[in-house]
Every structure is written in structure tokens, then in C-alpha cells.
Amino acid sequence: MSTTIALGTKHGKLAQIAPAFERIPEWELTLAEIDTDEFGTFSGEIPRTLSPRDTAIAKARAGAQLLGTDYGLASEGSIGSHPQLPWVTSDHELLALVCVNKDFVIVETHLSADIHAHKEDVNENTNLEQLVAHLDLPVHAANILYNQDNDLKVIKGIHDPKNFIAELSKLREASVQNLRVESDFRAMSSPSRQRNISACAEKLVTRISTRCVGCNEIGWGKVGYEYGLPCRGCGQMLASVPHSEKFGCVACDYSEVVSLGQHSIDPARCDFCNP
């Protein structure tokens, strides 16, 4: 007997997530077409009020409720500066699997700099042909944003370069306020984001397939780090540097700590030697 998972999405993510679940045929992924825009949009007309993690969990619970299933699954992505390389744009994908009956959550993440992202203000001097190239049309899609009567207007999902240029030309002639364009990051519009969602799904399936040795529940995996290493130069303890990975269960208190093999840090990384 298979276990049904309700995938809460309206942006075509089933195509990216379902292939990974073929590795565990006893789990059946079923589309739950909830309006995920209610939880916030990339283009900003509906703000996201929760953290990415809590947003994904809320979507997953809504999908499970819609289909009346015990398990719900949802995705959330954040496009922004890479945490270690702030000058690099990155895609941080997150998948949350909720179990309603047992009240636990499995969260898996994937961080990648492989994301096509561009945004630009548009004025009478903007070269629209170059803009098409920057946005990678028609492979990726673009949004056009502008302000009208104190409201944000968004035209989403434009793939065709001719339609894109025609729409921008019309809006420029109308002298709308704050005319700008940006990549459309919705899953069905961004092939580069699709690859990252698929990679995150592979990680989640591995997590589902790994059981806790303490209670035999699914979802055993990395839950965080343990921090604190001394500087080799001055001996001061740096609380922000991890020394071990912590693995744990989503359902019980059993955990294991695995050393990263580092017992001190170079003085060049020390906040005391290099204030």
C-alpha cells in the first residue's frame, strides 16, 4: 500500500519533484493545486510574511488539508546574495515534508549559484534588444513591473522577445512610473531554478529513505552544527566556527555528532587576531 503525499503548488513543480520520488515507489506524489501566491510572490505584489521555512511548511499543511492526506509537501525558494560570496547571486531552495498525524516536519535545502537572475530599470535610453539577452528570453521568462495610480502592476511570464519589446515600448510611450523588468522566478518560468528544485528533491528523497536507528522513523539527517574552535595563534575560542555536524531524528531525541576533522582555526580567520 502506497503512502500519498499532497504536493502543494500552482507553478508546475510536480515535474521537477516527481522524478526523485521514483526511487521510493511506495510513496505516491499527488498534486494539490492550492493558491500558493497567498503566501507571498517573488514579484512582491503579495509580501511573504513568514520565513522561507515556515512558508514551505504552511503550504505543505494546506496541500495535505486540501486532499485529506497525512503527508504534505511544498517548496519555497529565495533568490539573493550567496551567504559566503555576497557578490554572487544564489538560489536557496527548500522543501518541507509535514506529517500531520505524527506532527513532525522534514526540511531539506539546496543552495546553488546556478540561477539566471537579472533585473533592471527601464527608461527611454534602455536598449531593449540587449535587455532580451540579459533576461535570457525565450529560455527564461521575464516580468514587467510599473506603478500606476499608486498600485504595483505586474505582467508576468513573458517568454517571447517580440511580445516583451512591444509591451515595454507601449509602456515607455505611456510614461508609466518606475518601469522595470526582472527575471520571473516562478518554477514553470525558470529552467535554472527547476534544476535546483530537482536537486533539492533528490536530497529530500534520500532523507525520507533514511531511518533513525533509535525509533526507525523516516527523515534521519543533518539538523545542524556544533560550534566553537580555538585560534592557533592566540588561543581564543571562536564561537561562530563549527567543529562538528549534528545528525538527528525528526521524531525522537536520538542524535549523533560527527567531527569535521578541524581542531583549531588559522589566525587569519580569527576575530581577535584580525579585529
Q: At residue 48, does pLDDT exceed 90? A: no
CA dihedral over 192, 197, 199, 200, signed as positive or negative? positive
Question: What's the CATH fold of domain 3-114+190-209?
Answer: Maf protein (3.90.950)
User: Using H for helix, E for strand and C for coil, what is the string for 136-186?
Assistant: CCCCCCEEEEEEECCEEEEEEEECCHHHHHHHHHHHHHCCCEEEEEEECCC
Query: What is the three-class DSSP state of 30?
Result: strand
What pTM, to 2 d.p., does this model score?
0.89
pLDDT at 37 over 90: no
Mean pLDDT of the chain: 94
Q: Are 234 and 270 in contact (CB under 8 A)?
A: yes
**DSSP single-letter state for residue 2:** P
Average the pLDDT over 156-169 and give the result. 97
Q: What is the pLDDT of residue 205?
A: 97
What is the residue extent of each domain of the chain? 3-114+190-209, 119-184, 214-275
Whether the CB-CB separation of 198 and 191 falls below 8 Å is answered with no
pLDDT in tens, 99-131: 999 999 999 999 999 999 999 999 999 999 999
Lowest mean pLDDT across 45-49, 93-97, 182-186: 45-49
pLDDT in tens, 219-263: 999 989 999 999 999 999 999 899 999 999 999 999 999 999 999
**pLDDT for the residue 43:** 84
Structure confidence at residue 45 (pLDDT): 84
Instruction: Give the model's confidence band at 36: pLDDT under 50 very low, under 70 low, under 90 confident, else very high.
Output: confident
Cβ neighbours around 109 below 10 Å, total: 17
Backbone Cα Rg of the chain: 22
Distance CA 122, CA 132 (A): 12
Helices and strands in the chain, H and E counts: 5, 12
What pLDDT band is residue 40 in, cutting at 50, 70 and 90? confident
Instruction: Judge contact between 220 and 211, C-beta under 8 A.
Output: yes
Q: What is the pLDDT of residue 209?
A: 95
